[in-house]
Structure 1
Amino acid sequence: MSRLTLSRWLARFAPPPVTLRWRERLRSGVGALLGIALTGLVSHRLLGNASTIPWLIAPMGASAVLLFGVPASPLAQPWSIVGGNLVSAVVGVTCALLIDDPVVAAAVAVGVAICAMFTLRCVHPPSGAVALTAVLGGPAVRALGYEFVLEPVLLQTFVLLGSALVYHKATGHRYPHAAHTAKHATPTPAASGFSRADLEAALRERDELLDIDPDDLEALLRETEIRAYARSFGALNCADVMSRDVVSITPGTTVGEARALLRQHDVKALPVVDAQRHVKGIVTRADLADDVASLHPLRTLLRALGLGPRSSTADSTRVSSLMSTHVRTITAATPIVELLALFAGRGHHHVPVVDNERRLAGIVTQADLISGLYRQTQPLQKQSA
């Protein structure tokens, strides 16, 4: 083996860079500290000083790494830890009772536990240690028999899981994890044209378990392709695509007036501004959809016959009572890559544009974005022709 080949082989053992911010690393460590401390305290209080049941079993430390350190992992989700620990504890105790040789019992317990976790879709790596503990935990654990499944395994599992749920909620972190995608976002075709079926087929062909949720993987790939696509429009910013003649209203505008403006200008959203034209909110057709009869002729007919739903939003109501106040705004100089991410990944359909003094200067809709990108591609197509 040459020196170059050896160096390349050794380089494979080098750890990849950790992109996680230090604040998030500290948050994970503090969460694990609190989770393990609470688990041990509750076990101590419930089981008592004279109990032969361990207050903490070692696999809980490994579970804490997953629950607090990598909570987005499919291996760290609630069913994974509860189901994995439960089935592994049962398998471990069964092997300990039926197989005299501890080494053989340990090997069989871990192997069977892995197969059972795959079957029940609750793979949780620390659960392998639970099976091992049931076999090699010593006379005290062996004497517990199947009681080991309930105390301490399930007791400590639920306490640790509960602490993770509370801690992630308190610190603004998503857990149980779900892919961060907008439910009603319009699907944006990727540059390569891959679909979810293509992604799932590729994952099946790998014939190995990847520690990432398919929804997260799909979102990551699409965001990457959006950025790659936007890079070809590096000079394009929001000023190039926004509508400048934006129709706006004030917080004192009535619902009836807002509906009339939506119909008159054939728009889907109205920014709400104050006297200085600072954006204070936004109302959309969806906000006013309780009684927008013009949007659906059948609804008009039914209401005229007295069969349709009555309006739950009176025309005299001020829009300030129903507008969305958490409005994402952008500046005219915002690069198009940020705008693409907003529309494709976060479900936005219209984003107000403000000037340097935070006053309303325009609005960008999905139609504006598509039109601007189309205009930008024309010179490129002519150059390549």
Structure 2
Amino acid sequence: MRLFVPLLAGARWSDRLTACLGALLGIAATAAASSLAPHPGSFPFLVAPMGASAVLLFAVPSSPMAQPWPIVGGSIVSALVGVTIARLIPDPQLALGLGVSLAILAMSALRCLHPPGGACAILPILAGGSPAATDYGFVLLPVGLNALLLVATGLLFHRFSGHSYPHRPVPVAGHTVIATANGILPEDVDRALEELGETFDVAREDLDLLFRVAEKHALDRAPGSGPRA
């Protein structure tokens, strides 16, 4: 049964239902608006990686990979890599591997790592038989337009969802966060992350806030301590 335990810490059913509504509105609005623009050749007006981007944008809007620049920049940069590889490498297996690997490198260098970007790099390579596959216009239309429209709907939706977007590490309204009694500094969080040697899909500032809130609850539980705001 442990396989069916929710993987995301802090996720509630209300958040999941909100994410479902956001994805419904976001993808529908993006598809409707994109369908009004001319799109290249055989490519659809909405590319499949936008579905994965919507999962991040509406289900985990606090993720560093779900912020506006990763969604837009990661999608465009990866599509650019994919088109270039499709033009230069005739072997599809080698092209697919290079496309995804170089997309990861480019997104990392430009601080816009976005998992669906790997799919954006694959699209033009898989469709190598289509003239539109090697057309650099594909990078902006439909990929760039799709990403911009999806982020725009996300910005509007999250004004009412209860989540900050673009994400800011702030406490819930009506609550304050105390300074940690043990003097944990952001630099200590950096050192801990470096020591663990793992990459976590959470911003350092969010980790710092989480530690402070957790310490507040620990102090509230201590004998003789009254509850803190």
| TM-score, normalized by the shorter chain, greater than 0.5 | yes
**Structure 1 runs (4+) greater than 6 angstroms displaced:** none
The answer to whether the 8 A contact 1:134-1:141 is kept is no
> In 2, distance between residues paired with 1:174 and 1:199?
23
Which stretches in structure 2 are left out of the alignment for 5+ residues? none
Residue 102 of structure 1 pairs with residue 92 of structure 2: yes
The 3 A distance-change label for structure 1 pair 86 and 175 is same
Report the alpha carbon displacement of residue 63 of structure 1 after superposing the two structures with TM: 0.1
Q: 2:168 corresponds to which letter in structure 1?
A: A
2:198 counterpart (200, 205, 208) = 208
Q: Which residue number in structure 2 is paired with residue 223 of structure 1?
A: 213
- 1:88-237 to 2 correspondence within 5 Å? 88-140=78-130, 142-181=132-171, 188-233=178-223, 236=225
TM-score by length of 1: 0.54
2:29 counterpart (38, 62, 70) = 38
> In 1, distance between residues paired with 2:131 and 2:42?
8
- 1:18-33 to 2 correspondence within 5 Å? 19-33=10-24
The answer to whether the 8 A contact 2:177-2:213 is kept is no
TM-score by length of 2: 0.89
By relative contact order (CA 8 Å, sep 6+), the higher-ranking structure is 2
The answer to whether the 8 A contact 1:53-1:141 is kept is no
Work out which of the two has the higher radius of gyration on C-alpha atoms and give 1 or 2: 1
Computed over aligned residues only, the root mean square deviation of the Cα atoms, in angstroms, reads: 2.5
Q: 1:52 corresponds to which letter in structure 2?
A: S
Aligned to 2:27, the other structure's residue is in SS state: helix
Q: Which residue number in structure 1 is paired with residue 38 of structure 2?
A: 47
Name whichever structure is richer in helix by fraction.
2
Aligned to 1:47, the other structure's residue is in SS state: coil
Report the alpha carbon displacement of residue 47 of structure 1 after superposing the two structures with TM: 2.0
Name whichever structure is richer in strand by fraction.
1
Q: 2:161 corresponds to which letter in structure 1?
A: T
Q: 2:207 corresponds to which letter in structure 1?
A: L
Report the alpha carbon displacement of residue 65 of structure 1 after superposing the two structures with TM: 0.1
Aligned to 2:17, the other structure's residue is in SS state: helix
Report the alpha carbon displacement of residue 26 of structure 1 after superposing the two structures with TM: 1.2
Percentage of pairs with the same residue: 44
- Equivalent pairs, count: 226
The answer to whether the 8 A contact 1:28-1:69 is kept is yes
Which stretches in structure 1 are left out of the alignment for 5+ residues? 1-9, 237-335, 343-385
